[in-house]
Amino acid sequence: MRRFSKIGVAIIESLGDNERKTGREIHETTLYYLSLEVKFLENEYHEVSNTYQFLDVLEKIVHTAVNEDKFYFLHFEIHGNENGVVLKEGQQVDWSIILPYLRSLNILYSNNLSVYLAICKGNSIIRFINHLERAPFSLIFGSFQNVKNLDILIMFEEFYTEFFKKFSNYDAYQMIINLGLANNFVMITSQYIIDYLLELEANNNDEQKLLDAIDESLIPLGDLSPNIDVIVKKIRNDVVNLYKNYKIDKDFFLIKDL
């Protein structure tokens, strides 16, 4: 994996004027004090209001990671739903638009990008993952349900304090579970996602059944058409290519082949 000279949590927040800015509080308290203790820790706070600002920040983060050798942990403090995030000015940005930015970082980081989703139904992002593309993150930490500001603040203060002791998401996650702070938050890894998809693929491998059905239904029609063998061969080749092209490549998804 490429070596990085700087690391930092980048918090992107987009909440209403009358709402508590939990992301800013975490940045100015817990993460600030940690930056005094942890070498090379340069955290960032970005407050955005609309789609243009949001995507511009993501673009700048990717640019900084590539050109300034910075390793980011991404933290989102934004309203959301099953399809994406909802910004301060009311615009919705679908997960399908956000995922390419995450994927660019995760490829650069050799599948080591962590994304923390302080977003209602943030884990719904996994519904938009295409297994034929590279994984957009190594892990996400979020919820499939609605979340509360105060719960988020307390939980992430403890999470980051524990995380930067060993740089272990798993130790930090286990710690907040033991403290009863995780609420409905769960951690999902790209490894888990691809293993689950591979299990589904193994249990639903119908290629041979489909080929047998083609033979059973079309070959008996040979007496009716002298070209039936050519037609059957063409259809069989199409089916084989379909399954071949859509077969899950675990190493490709987990970025182990680069």
The pLDDT value recorded for residue 75 is: 98
Q: Give the mean pLDDT of 229-253.
A: 66
Mean pLDDT of the chain, nearest integer: 87
Whether the per-residue pLDDT at 231 is higher than 60: the answer is: no
Q: pLDDT band at 190, cuts 50/70/90? A: very high
Q: pLDDT band at 234, cuts 50/70/90? A: low
To the question of domain 6-195 being in CATH 1.20.1260.10, the answer is no
Q: pLDDT band at 166, cuts 50/70/90? A: very high
Q: Where are the domains of the chain?
A: 6-195, 205-253
The pLDDT value recorded for residue 35 is: 96
Whether the per-residue pLDDT at 175 is higher than 90: the answer is: yes
Q: pLDDT band at 158, cuts 50/70/90? A: very high
Q: Are 156 and 214 in contact (CB under 8 A)?
A: no
CA proximity to 53, closest of 18, 84, 96, 93: 93
Q: How far apart are the first and last CA of the chain?
A: 9
Q: pLDDT band at 210, cuts 50/70/90? A: low
% of the chain at pLDDT higher than 70: 81
Q: Please give the full DSSP string across 100-150, using - where no structure is assigned.
A: HHHHHHHHHTTS--EEEEESTTGGGGGGG--TTS--S-SEEEEESS---HH
Note the pLDDT tens digit of each residue in 104-121. Answer: 999 999 999 999 999 999
Rounded CA-CA distance 169/162 in Å is 9
75-84, 184-193, 210-219, 233-242: range with lowest mean pLDDT? 210-219
Angle at Cα 238 formed by Cα 234 and Cα 243, nearest 5°?
A: 150
pLDDT: is 198 or 133 the higher one?
A: 133
How much is the pTM?
0.85
Note the pLDDT tens digit of each residue in 16-67. Answer: 999 999 999 999 999 999 999 998 999 999 999 999 999 999 999 999 999 9
Q: pLDDT band at 131, cuts 50/70/90? A: confident
The pLDDT value recorded for residue 208 is: 64
Angle at Cα 236 formed by Cα 232 and Cα 242, nearest 5°?
A: 150
pLDDT: is 32 or 244 the higher one?
A: 32
